Structure 1
Amino acid sequence: MDRSIHPGLVNNLAMQFMNVNLSEEDRRRYLVTALERIMQTYPTDMEEEKTMLMLAMLLAKKVADHTPSLLRDVFRTTVNFINQNLFTYVRNLVRNEMD
């Protein structure tokens, strides 16, 4: 899964996040666009939510590795994205783990 994320996509997202004039919503849109591009090339044999969650975290890691100064911003944006779009899925994962 890690190798499915093209370095050019990571570089482009890092460049977008470096723009200090972007709002949090703009950053989230750039993250979503990048995730949608990755999802198009990814096999559909796994739940979409699970794939999206894993790819969002991997993409955040890759951007932070690429440009460490973006760690806080990319982490915050990724957490906000997960809370807004995958919260129910994550909550169900935790519940199933506790059962």
Structure 2
Amino acid sequence: MDRSIHPGLVNNLAMQFMNVNLSEEDRRRYLATALERIMQTYPTDMEEEKTMLMLVMLLAKKVADHTPSLLRDVFRTTVNFINQNLFTYVRNLVRNEMD
């Protein structure tokens, strides 16, 4: 799964995050666009939400590894993205673990 994230995509996303004029919404959009590109090349044998969650976290890790100074921004944007797009899935994961 880690190898499905092309270095050029990571570099491009890091460049976008370095733009201090971008709003949080713009950053989330760039993250979503990058995630969509990765999802198109990934097999669909897993639940879509699970795949999205794993890939968005891997993407955030790769951007932070590529440009450590972006860790805070990429983390915040990733958490916001997860809260907006995958909150129900994550909540259900937690509930299932507690049962």
Q: Can you list the C-alpha shifts for 1:74-97, whole angstroms capped at 9, x where unaligned?
A: 000000000000000000000001
Structure 1 stretches lacking a partner, 5+ long:
none
Q: Can you list the C-alpha shifts for 1:42-86, whole angstroms capped at 9, x where unaligned?
A: 000000000000000000000000000000000000000000000
Give the match for residue 6 of structure 1.
6
Q: CA deviation at 1:19?
A: 0.1
What SS does the aligned partner of 1:21 have?
A: coil
- TM-score scaled by length of structure 2: 1.00
Give the match for residue 48 of structure 2.
48
Runs (4 or more) in structure 1 with deviation over 3 Å come to none
Count of matched residue pairs:
99
The percentage of counterpart residues that share the same residue type is 98
Structure 2 stretches lacking a partner, 5+ long:
none
RMSD over aligned CA atoms reads 0.2
For 1:26 and 1:14, how far apart are their aligned partners in 2?
A: 13
